[in-house]
Amino acid sequence: MNSTGSNIAADAFRRLHGAAPAGVWSAPGRVNLIGEHTDYNDGFVLPFAIPHRTWVAASPREDGVITLASVQDGQVEVAEPVRLAELEPGTAQGWVAYPAGVAWVLRQQGVGGGADLVVAGDVPRGAGLSSSHSLEVATALALLGLSGADPSKSDIAKWVQQAENDFVGAPTGLLDQTASLCCTDAHVLFLDVRSGRQEQVPFDAGAHGLEVLVIDTRVSHSLVESGYGERRRGCERAADVLGVASLRDAAGEEGLPDELRPLARHVITENERVLKTVELLKQERYAEIGPLLSASHASLRDDYRVSCVELDVAAEAAEKAGALGARMIGGGFGGSAIALVPRELRERVETGVAEAFAAQGFGSPRMFAAVPAAGAGRDV
């Protein structure tokens, strides 16, 4: 794990509280290789953790109060303290809502001690790389660690989901928090959301002369304010019309009203793409997953309708410059795309994307190669 980020959080804690923290916990952001909007439909996903993380330095308090501070560009921003007994949805705003929501849920699980928390991180915000879940998971591990509790990762993922759904107000599935908790170095996580079955699938793109290039469009998105919840409700209505528990069980979209058919079509075909990608990776046919990534983007753009012009330009420009496939990732309406790029073409792809953005009058995208990293845990 990145010791620099851990040191930044611990040093800021020392400056603020006059003593070293009891510990530092961290959790990564994630890239979802394929399997978008399938998690809340009981389907299949294939994420991997990235080296970018959120660190939480923490010590216990005895007064039922949680103090929160965040390190931003070397400066420590101190938020208003929150009293655990008074926490309810709507009582915390902005970034504070994420750790406060976790504390609110854990209080219901009998973990009710106060704490001093200092947060540092380098997961780009609003980029579709799950910065919010990285913060929530790191907070959960810190509060649980201070209390001495040791629940399963499955339980922690569900509690973080509850915080996101019921406190923050974003109706997310289980993909992001499970990825942050359970991903391992040099692997993608094949997760069957319904059963909870996990399989770590080796993923070494570099050994095959390839890189997964992340293209952060810098168009910030909010799952609370976007059409994410509307899409999720549409999937639930479609499953109800079809008489199935979820769209995971749907054989097709026949019988659905016109406005729901594309949603079901995306979920059904995306689950198929995940299964095919896993099969190809196990056979080390890495280059052949490129068309599946591109088909996923087309489905998210045309059927699920969660793309935006910046994401479309990123994917199209990357492929035009030599990427084997590209697609948007995350909830949509902004954020990032990924491209599967032959290593020798990376510079050309980056140049092609940057020039396409400039031609459209967009701001410069941020680009970096993502490699599978370790999941969440205690650093110090």
Helix (H) or strand (E) holding 50: strand 44-61
pLDDT above 70 (res 1): no
Picking from 326, 333, 337, the residue whose alpha carbon sits closest to that of residue 365 is 337
3-state SS class at 246: coil
Strands 44-61 and 198-202: unpaired
Query: Is the CB of residue 78 less than 8 Å from the CB of residue 17?
Result: no
Average pLDDT, the chain: 95
pLDDT at 170: 86
pLDDT above 60 (res 215): yes
pLDDT above 60 (res 209): yes
Single-letter code of the amino acid located at 173: G
Rounded to whole angstroms, the Cα distance separating 380 from 138 reads 13
Which pair of structure tokens corresponds to residue 301? 């753009």
pLDDT at 221: 59
pLDDT at 128: 86
pTM comes to 0.94
Rounded to whole angstroms, the Cα distance separating 289 from 262 reads 23
Which pair of structure tokens corresponds to residue 259? 């406005």
Strands 65-72 and 23-34: unpaired
Instruction: Tell me the mean pLDDT in the region 310-322.
Output: 98
Rounded to whole angstroms, the Cα distance separating 183 from 161 reads 17
Q: Could you tell me the end-to-end alpha-carbon distance of the chain, in angstroms, rounded to an integer?
A: 10
Which pair of structure tokens corresponds to residue 220? 């910030």
Please give the domain boundaries of the chain with CATH numbers for all domains. 3-196 (3.30.230.10), 204-370 (3.30.70.890)
For the question of residue 39 being annotated catalytic, the response is no
Which pair of structure tokens corresponds to residue 205? 């793109």
Q: How far is CA 167 from the centre of its chain?
A: 18
Residues 82-91 pLDDT 10s: 999 999 999 9
- Distances in Å between the Cα of 66 and the Cα atoms of 78, 117, 141, 148, 330 are 12, 7, 15, 17, 30
Strands 114-121 and 65-72: parallel
Residues 257-300 pLDDT 10s: 999 999 999 999 999 999 999 999 999 999 999 999 999 999 99
- Distances in Å between the Cα of 197 and the Cα atoms of 34, 201, 244 are 17, 13, 21
What is the number of other CB atoms lying within 10 angstroms of the CB of residue 23? 18
Angle separating helix axes 175-182 and 153-162, nearest 10 degrees: 140
Rounded to whole angstroms, the Cα distance separating 46 from 216 reads 20
Q: What residues does 71 pair with on adjacent strands?
A: 76
Residues 221-250 pLDDT 10s: 555 456 888 999 999 999 999 999 999 999
Q: What is residue 361's DSSP assignment?
A: T
Catalytic option among 39, 42, 176, 216: 176
Angle separating helix axes 290-302 and 261-282, nearest 10 degrees: 170
Q: What is residue 41's DSSP assignment?
A: G
pLDDT at 234: 97
